[in-house]
């Protein structure tokens, strides 16, 4: 099995090197990440494609979050990485363009004694018809969540969402 690495960065996003993914999460090392959030506009308003992380994930299992998220590989653009992970996590192959709308830095102590310390790029796309076949080792559920209901759920019960998702949603709604 190939060792998965993350790209270490400074707070301005300048690359500092590579580190094995799990070690970076144990050390709390700042690294690049992305969060993809697909949406569709319906007669009843905007809906976001959300996933519930599989219980076996290395952290945040069972929590709701954006469509997919991960880390770019060295030399891979954020858009390439996002499209790759849409396929790997959600079994989605019909998205050919993602828009990088915002970047934010956060640090969160998680379960399993891991720390997310990421410079996270938010990648979005408006979609209509999608084939979705989630990878069961990554995703235990998914749904199209109406914007108003999602905002209310994040406000009233933030514990059901990943540590980074409220910031992803807030920056997506500003548009």
What are the catalytic residues?
69, 118
User: 25 a known binding residue?
Assistant: yes
Residues near 1 by beta carbon (within 8 Å), at least 6 away in sequence? none
CA distance to 18, 97, 172, per residue, from 3 (Å): 11, 28, 33
Residue 105: both structure tokens together: 């830095």
116 is in an annotated binding site: yes
Task: Judge whether 47 is annotated as a binding position.
Answer: no
Instruction: Quote the Cα angle for 99-105-108, to 5°.
Output: 120
Burial class (CB in 10 A: 0-12, 13-18, 19+), 113: exposed
| 71 appears as a binding residue in the annotation | yes
59 is in an annotated binding site: no
In the annotated binding site for Mg(2+), the residues are: 89
In the annotated binding site for Mn(2+), the residues are: 25, 31, 71, 116, 118
């Amino acid at each position: 099995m190939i060792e998965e690495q993350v790209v270490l960065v400074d707070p301005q996003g300048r690359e500092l090197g590579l580190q094995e993914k799990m070690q970076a999460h144990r050390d709390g090392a700042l690294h690049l990440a992305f969060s993809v959030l697909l949406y569709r506009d319906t007669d009843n308003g905007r809906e976001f494609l959300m996933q519930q992380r599989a219980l076996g994930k290395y952290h945040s299992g069972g929590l709701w979050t954006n469509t997919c998220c991960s880390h770019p590989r060295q030399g891979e653009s954020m858009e390439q990485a996002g499209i790759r992970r849409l396929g790997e996590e959600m079994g989605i192959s019909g998205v050919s363009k993602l828009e990088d709308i915002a970047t934010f830095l956060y640090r969160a102590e998680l379960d399993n004694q891991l720390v997310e310390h990421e410079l996270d790029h938010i990648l979005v796309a408006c979609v209509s018809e999608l084939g979705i076949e989630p990878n069961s080792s990554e995703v235990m559920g998914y749904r199209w969540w109406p914007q108003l209901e999602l905002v209310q759920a994040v406000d009233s019960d933030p514990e059901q969402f990943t540590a980074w998702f409220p910031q992803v949603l807030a920056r997506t709604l500003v548009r």
